[in-house]
């Protein structure tokens, strides 16, 4: 137990770096409404690079300095997923996720970028993801620049949204793995529980409870564990997604004929607790931060 206590203190004190996709706008009057999209695990540092306060990188944005954040999007299940989202947002005229015909190449206007974001959030590919949108300008200003298509006017219900300064963002993400309680389990206990489960799973030949296939325990992004502290249910991420999607389908939780790629929530087959997909993904990131 002392081991897990030390590890949890370590993670509590260490800021786990989330991959954030960000939108900047130029505050240079000559480039009013000019926008830029990028991905970084350290947004504060990245902004200083764009503004030339730190050396290296960000050549393409040099002439339009100074820059300021409009918003951050995070909650991606992996670094690759964040990059794919960034690419789609940067290339609306080419991406297959949205109606690309309504967009033109090299349109870097801020209102267009917000319209693309709105389309992506509502797209079949992304509407079920556990994404978090953090707006860094006032909501009045935000509504003004997004004109007719604000990404917050019809945000999918599983998305989280916050607004405020960089400090607000940091305190939000500092609590990323607590979200108050998840299924009634406070933060400290979740840290200890993830550590203990990992130690237990490691001792036997870890297998997926759904397909029986081997689990590569150091490859944290490939498997999930139940959120209940006493339940050892462990499965591949894709196996559990398929099970939850089948549960949702049988309960007719989604009414359209489209087959979603990701579930919103489901029941653990062992302890029968309801588990939110976003909470499972957060917990997976927690385990990775704790044990990698
Ligand atoms: Zn499996
Ligand atoms: Zn369970």
Measure 129 CA to ligand 1 centroid, in angstroms: 21
Closest-approaching ligand to the CA atom of 228 = 2
Measure 234 CA to ligand 1 centroid, in angstroms: 9
**CA angle (82, 127, 175) in 5-degree steps:** 60
Nearest to 74 by CA among 23, 30, 125: 23
List CB-based neighbours of ion ligand 1 within 5 Å. Answer: 208, 210-211, 213, 236, 239
**Predicted pLDDT of residue 56:** 72
Eight-state DSSP code of residue 60:
G
Q: Which of 182-186, 253-257, 259-263 shows the highest mean pLDDT?
A: 259-263
pLDDT, one tens digit per residue, over 15-53 is 456 789 999 999 999 998 899 999 998 888 899 999 988
pLDDT, one tens digit per residue, over 213-234 is 999 999 988 999 998 888 999 9
Report the relative pairing of strands 223-225 and 160-163 from DSSP bridges: unpaired
Closest-approaching ligand to the CA atom of 274 = 2
Measure 25 CA to ligand 2 centroid, in angstroms: 45
Across 258-282, average pLDDT: 84
**Predicted pLDDT of residue 184:** 62
pLDDT, one tens digit per residue, over 155-205 is 887 787 888 887 777 766 655 444 335 566 666 677 778 888 888 988 888
Domain definitions of the chain by residue range: 17-174, 187-291
**Predicted pLDDT of residue 260:** 67
- Report the Cα–Cα distance between both ends of the chain, in Å, rounded: 19
Q: Could you tell me the two tokens for 36?
A: 């830029």
Measure 234 CA to ligand 2 centroid, in angstroms: 8
The whole model's pTM is what? Answer: 0.67
Residue appearing with tokens 């001792």: 203
Half-sphere exposure for 292 (CA within 13 Å, toward CB): 12
pLDDT, one tens digit per residue, over 116-155 is 999 999 998 888 887 888 899 998 899 888 887 788 877 8
pLDDT band at residue 284 using 50, 70 and 90 as cut-offs: confident
pLDDT band at residue 55 using 50, 70 and 90 as cut-offs: confident
Closest-approaching ligand to the CA atom of 266 = 2
Measure 29 CA to ligand 1 centroid, in angstroms: 55
Measure 67 CA to ligand 1 centroid, in angstroms: 45
Nearest to 133 by CA among 79, 72, 176: 72
* pLDDT score of 208 more than 90: yes
Closest-approaching ligand to the CA atom of 212 = 1
CA–CA separation, 55 vs 245, rounded Å?
A: 47
Look at 57-61, 109-113, 207-211, 273-277 and tell me which has the smallest mean pLDDT.
Answer: 57-61
Closest-approaching ligand to the CA atom of 243 = 1
Closest-approaching ligand to the CA atom of 210 = 1
CA–CA separation, 122 vs 143, rounded Å?
A: 18
Nearest to 127 by CA among 135, 119, 138, 115: 119
Closest-approaching ligand to the CA atom of 233 = 2
187-291 sits in which CATH class? alpha beta
């Amino acid at each position: 137990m002392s081991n897990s206590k030390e590890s949890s203190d370590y993670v509590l004190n260490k800021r786990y770096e989330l991959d954030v996709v960000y939108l900047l706008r130029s505050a240079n009057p000559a480039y009013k409404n000019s926008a830029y999209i990028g991905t970084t695990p350290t947004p504060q540092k990245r902004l200083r690079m764009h503004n030339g306060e730190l050396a290296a990188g960000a050549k393409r944005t040099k002439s339009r300095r100074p820059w300021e954040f409009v918003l951050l999007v995070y909650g991606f299940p992996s670094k690759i997923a964040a990059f794919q989202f960034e690419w789609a947002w940067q290339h609306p005229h080419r991406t297959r996720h949205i109606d690309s015909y309504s967009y033109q190449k090299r349109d870097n206007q801020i209102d267009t970028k917000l319209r693309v974001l709105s389309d992506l959030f509502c797209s079949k590919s992304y509407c079920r993801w556990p994404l978090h949108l953090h707006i860094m300008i006032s909501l009045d200003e935000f509504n003004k620049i997004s004109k007719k298509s604000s990404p917050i006017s019809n945000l999918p219900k599983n998305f989280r949204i916050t607004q405020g300064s960089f400090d607000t963002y940091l305190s939000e993400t500092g609590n990323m793995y607590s979200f108050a309680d998840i299924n009634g389990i406070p933060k400290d206990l979740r840290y200890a529980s993830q550590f203990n489960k990992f130690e237990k799973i490691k001792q036997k030949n870890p297998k997926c409870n759904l397909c029986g296939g081997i689990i590569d325990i150091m490859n944290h992004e490939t498997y999930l564990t139940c959120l209940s502290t006493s339940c050892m249910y462990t499965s591949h991420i894709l196996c559990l997604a398929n099970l939850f999607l089948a549960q949702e389908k049988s309960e007719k939780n989604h009414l359209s004929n489209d087959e979603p790629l990701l579930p919103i929530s489901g029941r653990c087959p062992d302890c029968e607790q309801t588990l939110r997909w976003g909470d499972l993904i957060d917990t997976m990131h927690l385990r990775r931060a704790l044990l990698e």
